Amino acid sequence: MSLKPLLYTPPELSAENRVHGRNVLYLNGFLMLFGYFTIISVTALHFTHDIRLTATAVGVALAARQFTQQGLDLFGGVFGERFGYRISITLGCFIRALGFIGFSIARTFPELMFAALIAGFGGMFFDATGSGAMAAVVKPEERSRIFSISATINNVGAALGPLVGVFAYAYWGYQPVGLLAALVFVIIGLETYFFLPDHIERFAASQKVPAPSLGRSLRAALSNREYIITIAALMGFWSILSQISLTVPLIANKIGGASGVAIILGINAFLAIPLQYPLVRLAERYMSLMKILGISALICVAGMVIVYFATNMPMEITGIVLATIGSLAVSPITAAISAKVAPPRALAVFYGISAIGIGAGGALGMFIGGRLYDLQQALHSQWFLGVFTAIVGVTVAWAFLQTKTPGVCSLPASRKNLATMMKDQSGVVHP
């Protein structure tokens, strides 16, 4: 396939190709979450208990992975828009596989950090691009529904991953877990390259409208006050949600051992399978998108505070159930907002912009979470993580509830003259 710049998928894409594209991307999402949670569910345990690194060190490495992936997502989105979804997703999956192989053989903090950076760099190429590809094959009026279905399918993979990861780790150790996760991403890369319909890219390449420059897309986003506030609030929300990958497994292991980790992470993912789609659809009927996010934040924070102060498994389970319910709407609503505000031909770029906020929040949350966990261990206290979560969560909820749902961003004029611009943009339908 030629690497010449590709253009936005037009609404004339056939129903057959839309369904085919959706199915491939559904499978991608399932396998990505399965592979990721297979290894991440036991990473904190392995490096703190087997390798004897501090939780702060592990948190820094995981933060580096997340910020490398989502902080650079914007550039991955640009790459996907310019050179094609298949190339970008396939390349990213192969690089991610190398990173997970690095995880499996790392024995020191520098080795862990290097592997984390490689894994994050690979994710840069498929994260925003995958969301952009899904938005491109889905009609605008169906996006919230399809994103919710996709998130539900992803949750199946996220539910099975920890079970497989904890089982494999208990019987065979960490290295086979890392190699299995790497193999999953190699399979995703091959499946994407050979089965994602190239009709998407051929239809896109047939259009004459150039993609907006990165600078114009960024100026459009920065001019939308509500969108910027939303991204900033999401940073805080993800600083809390990121603890599912670090401090929550460590606390669950202290209370219930390895089986406790599997139970907590399994509940977190399995509960979302039957509840996410109907709850998000029900909430959309009665509330604005921002109100949904605000109420979700309050519920999630209440659950996470209970998790941090839990002294037994029933209390821990109660907390994770509440936290899971509160987190159900975050991904589909965030994706729907980005799709709503993005100008034509800038879908993946806007997913990249939102990912920067998510990545920064998640990375900061992992660093702070690891540090606070170590402080709790040293001082034999349970207060630090709970207080941090409560303060951040209430602030985030207030920001969501006080902000209007962002509207469509308008691209600033380019250097072309008006006549040329009108000619170039004729026939473009806003997504």
Please, are residues 250 and 48 in contact by the beta-carbon 8 Å criterion?
yes
Which spans in 223-328 are helix H?
Answer: 225-241, 247-270, 272-286, 289-309, 313-327
Instruction: Supply the pTM of this predicted model.
Output: 0.81
pLDDT of residue 9: 42
CA distance 328 to 277: 9
Give whole-number Cα distances, 321 to 284, 331, 338, 348, 382, in Å.
Answer: 21, 17, 28, 32, 20
| Dihedral sign of CA atoms 248, 250, 252, 255 in order | negative
Structure token pair of residue 44: 């904190």
pLDDT, tens digit (0-9, with 9 covering 90-100), for 135-149: 778 777 777 678 778
pLDDT at 75: 81
Residue 230 CA to residue 262 CA, distance in Å, equals 33
**101 within 8 A of 181, measured Cβ to Cβ:** no
Looking at residue 79, its amino acid is: F
Amino acid at the residue 312: N
The answer to whether residues 209 and 15 touch, using CB atoms and an 8 Å cutoff, is no
pLDDT for 431 equals 31
DSSP-based three-state secondary structure for 325 = helix
Buried b / exposed e over 65-101, threshold 16 CB at 10 Å, is bbbbbbbbbbebbbbbbbbbbbbbbbbbbbbbbbbbb
pLDDT of residue 359: 84
Torsion of CA 104, 126, 296, 217, to 10 degrees: 140
Q: What is the dihedral of CA 238, 367, 184, 4, to 10 degrees?
A: 70
Residues in the chain with pLDDT values less than 70: 1-13, 144, 199-214, 344-349, 408-431
The pLDDT of residue 63: 93
Q: Are 99 and 122 in contact (CB under 8 A)?
A: yes
Cβ within 8 Å of residue 216, ≥6 positions away:
411, 412, 414
Are the CB atoms for 228 and 222 separated by under 8 Å? yes
**Amino acid 425: pLDDT:** 34
* 108 close to 67: Cβ distance less than 8 angstroms: no
Q: What is the pLDDT of residue 159?
A: 86
The residue type found at 367 is: F
pLDDT in tens, 2-19: 333 333 444 456 777 778
Q: What is the pLDDT of residue 17?
A: 77
Q: Are 41 and 165 in contact (CB under 8 A)?
A: yes
**pLDDT value at residue 410:** 63
- What's at 216, amino acid-wise? R
Domains and CATH numbers, the chain: 16-410 (1.20.1250.20)
In the prediction, which pLDDT does 6 show?
A: 39
CA distances from 90 to 5, 150, 188 (A): 17, 19, 7
Q: d(Cα 236, Cα 361) in Å, to the nearest integer?
A: 6
